[in-house]
Amino acid sequence: MAERRKLVAGNWKMNGLRSALPEVQAIVAGARGLGQVDLAICPPSTLSPMVGEVLLGSPIALGGQDCHASANGAFTGDVSAEMWADLGARFVIVGHSERRQYHAETDAIVAAKAAAACRAGLSPIICVGESLAERDAGDTLSVIAGQLARSIPDEAGRPDTVIAYEPVWAIGTGRTPTLAQVEEVHQAIGRALDARFGAAGRQIRVLYGGSVKPDNAAQLMAVPGVDGALVGGASLKAADFLAIAQACA
Ligand code: PGA
């Protein structure tokens, strides 16, 4: 199987004021020597132009946390994929479970956003993940299969697309699946991408997300089929984010 470069993406969610910019500077400084792993930071929209300036000339990419499906228009409060691209972003997260849960985003909406990301020349980071009730009911693999089928548009069948497997019950809780559970889901995702997209699908990176911390990153990142991490809370501190990146490198 083709070796895929690992990617560690930090999702700051609704955290960070301008006073957090030194953390970004610290990440840029600390990332020297981490050439074997791709890094991205997805700050809140308000900080993005400033974070983008700090990242300029560094190997660390800028990403958005969400985008609208349309390129522009009367959509108060929304940000389009074209706007992220205009800012120099390379990635945009779509379908994060918090968007699905708190903004009632369906798989169809997520697919439209992922298609918008592709249209704008960005790599979508398409998130999927089961709830605790679904895991307890033994439905994890079928839930993930359905989300993949419906949330990934045909346009995203290309090597630079990224999938993030994030069990909803692991996000922000300090709980993580067992390594065997992570491997089972990542292998299933890999098979689904291969079946649907062939060679391009085999190049799509599948990140694990949900309570990735410096002390569990090395184990999680060594699981077969795990191509990196989508990191929430631990991405807010440069030292933690860099330690996770180091665990990948
Ligand atoms: P967490 O969040 O690392 O804080 O669990 C992960 C995510 O939501 O992407």
140-177 residue pLDDT tens: 999 999 999 999 999 999 999 999 999 999 999 999 99
Span 19-51, pLDDT tens digits: 999 999 999 999 988 989 999 999 999 999 999
Q: Contact, 84 vs 65, CB < 8 A?
A: no
Q: Where are the beta strands (DSSP E) in 120-204?
A: 123-128, 162-165
DSSP string computed for 46-109:
GGHHHHHHHHTTSSPEEEES--BSSSSSS-TT--BHHHHHHTT--EEEES-HHHHHHS---HHH
On the 0-12 / 13-18 / 19+ scale of CB atoms within 10 A, 36 is exposed
State the Cα–Cα distance between residues 69 and 115, nearest whole angstrom.
7
- Compute, in angstroms, the gap from residue 80 CA to the centroid of ligand 1: 23
How many CA atoms, within 13 angstroms, populate the side-chain half-sphere of residue 78?
Answer: 16
User: Would you say residue 134 has pLDDT above 60?
Assistant: yes
Of all atoms in ligand 1, which is nearest to the CA of residue 97?
8
- Mean pLDDT for 119-124 is 98
Taking the complete model, does pTM exceed 0.75, yes or no?
A: yes
- Mean pLDDT for 194-218 is 98
User: Phi, psi (5° rounding) for residue 220?
Assistant: -65, -40
Domains contained in the chain, CATH given: 20-248 (3.20.20.70)
On the 0-12 / 13-18 / 19+ scale of CB atoms within 10 A, 138 is exposed
- The question of whether 3 is a catalytic residue gets the answer no
Q: What is the pLDDT of residue 1?
A: 47
User: Would you say residue 226 has pLDDT above 70?
Assistant: yes
Best CA proximity match to 65, nearest among 92, 84, 104, 101:
92
* Ligand 1 pocket, residues with Cβ under 6 angstroms: 11, 166, 171-172, 209-212, 230-234
Q: What is the pLDDT of residue 2?
A: 54
Of all atoms in ligand 1, which is nearest to the CA of residue 174?
5
How many CB atoms lie under 10 A from the CB of residue 181? 15
225-248 per-residue burial string, b: 16 or more CB within 10 A, e: under 16: bbbbbbbbbbbbbbebbbbbbbbb
Name the catalytic one among 23, 96, 105, 130.
Answer: 96
Reported for 132-141, long-range contacts at CB under 8 A and 24+ positions apart, including other chains, are: 132/168, 132/169, 135/167, 135/169, 140/167, 140/181, 140/185, 141/184, 141/185, 141/188
- The question of whether 96 is a catalytic residue gets the answer yes
Q: How many residues make up the chain in this entry?
A: 249
**DSSP bridge partners of 37:** 6
Q: What is the pLDDT of residue 156?
A: 98
